[in-house]
Structure 1
Amino acid sequence: MTRDEIRALMSALLDGEIDAGRAAELRRAIEADPELRREFEQLLALRGAARQALVPPPVDDADWEALALRVAAGTSAGVGWTLLAPGAAALVLGGLAGFLLSDEVPLWIRLACGATIAGLAFLLLSAIADRLRARRIERYDGVER
């Protein structure tokens, strides 16, 4: 085997992807050449460092409690917003409908208010649509600082 062939098979040897006979032959060739042995030892060290980097950090009870509190706070806030939003929308729409349909308010004021409300609704809906479009292509959505 040439040095280049041995170098190409070193990672496969470390990963256990080579049969026993070929592995023994490869180990003998590596041991016989000081440069290949040094490269193989560097690969071993790199593999060990990579495995250590993949070990998840320990999580203690305080972390779990903090997570539970965040989930509970988010859930209760979500329920609150779910109840508040339709109630507020019903009150606002009812008040606006009464105001805009009232014969006591001059027509030009009703039209101006109607145009303002329609413009605000359009802006709100376009902002929501833009946010939903951006959410589909957001590259850094799961990145935390």
Structure 2
Amino acid sequence: MPTTLAQTLGGHHDSILTQVGMPIDPTNELSKLLGLHKYEEAFDAALQRCDVSIIYWLCSQVDLRCILSIDPLPLSQVVLLHLLRHLSYGINNNIPQKFGWMTHIANVIIPTDSMIAMHVRPIFNEVYALLNHQQYLPTITGFELSSIRSLMHVIISKIM
């Protein structure tokens, strides 16, 4: 079973589009993966692009809360941890929506999972530090502050 967008497409899609001068729009392929309920592949592909706007777009295309309530989880712990980290970049944009996503993701991360155990604490500490800084900005509303503190609480509860 393919695990990345490049593997799904045989690795040739981007080079073909580049050769014919067409702009590469990853949202088309990501939409196809979502339509097939291949959430792991879609999120993995978005994360591999290292483009936060694509990751935000992908999160906005799905009901993340619903996906994260499926048993078994359709997203691996590795993807979830990296998704949490990437969503923390540029944290001051779309704050309510982003903190909702981040809180749902943090709640389903299993810190003792062998695939992520050694990475959880450093990434959670990094996200926590960003949140700690964010909560003291003068532009933060009461609702946003509540969301930040709720997410900080989830993070602390996961690493203690």
Instruction: Name the TM tier (shorter chain).
Output: under 0.3
TM-score normalised by L of structure 1: 0.26
Question: Which structure shows the higher helix fraction?
Answer: 1
TM-score normalised by L of structure 2: 0.24
The answer to which structure, 1 or 2, has the higher relative contact order (CA under 8 A, 6+ apart) is 2
